[in-house]
Amino acid sequence: MSVIDILTRVDSICKKYDKYDVDKQRGDGGNFASDDAFARLYSSVEADIEAALSKSELASQEKNRAAVVAMNAEIRRTKAKLLEEVPKLQRLAYKKVKGLTKEDLAARNDMVLALPDRIQSIPDGTSNGTKQTGGWTASASRTEIKFDSTSGNFLWTLLFLLLNYY
């Protein structure tokens, strides 16, 4: 493990646990007020998204398949947890906070609406394309008939089916 890998991991761990730093929550070094629940929750969701993105990048560079599977499973769990936080953020986005303008209130709503797309765009090792059926497909007119379209006998199989059914 190189020094860069160690520093990257330490940085991601520090970002993950920043939400528990009392000084930052009081507003001494943080970017949110202590009485604004939306800002606290949104910043923790942002930190979790960044951590998931960095873990996804580490998984894409990993050579060990078992480690990649474990990382991707953890990323999927994180994504599910983050998607559960979105409704809470939507409720908190409409609450009025002292010193918050109407434009800021509208911007909060837009930020929450963009979150599900950002969360879903985190690569987690699953393909979002069509499902692979292993080369076996069902006939459109008769669903009980299945044939292998990848073999060289496709035409012979099709001819056989046509002769037997018509």
By CB atoms closer than 10 A (0-12, 13-18, 19+), residue 56 is: buried
Q: Give the mean model confidence (pLDDT) for residues 14-22.
A: 76
Residue 47 confidence (pLDDT): 92
pTM, entire model? 0.56
Residue 153 — very low, low, confident or very high, per pLDDT cuts 50/70/90? low
d(CA 52, CA 93): 24
Predicted pLDDT of residue 27: 54
Distances (CA, A) of 164 to 140, 154, 160: 17, 15, 6
**Strand 146-148 to 136-138 pairing:** antiparallel
SS3 of residue 113 by DSSP: helix
pLDDT attached to residue 139: 46
Integer Cα distance of 122 and 56 in angstroms:
7
pLDDT (average), residues 86-107: 84
Q: Is the pLDDT assigned to residue 18 strictly greater than 90? A: no
The band of 77, judged by pLDDT with boundaries at 50, 70 and 90, is very high
Residue 103's pLDDT is 84
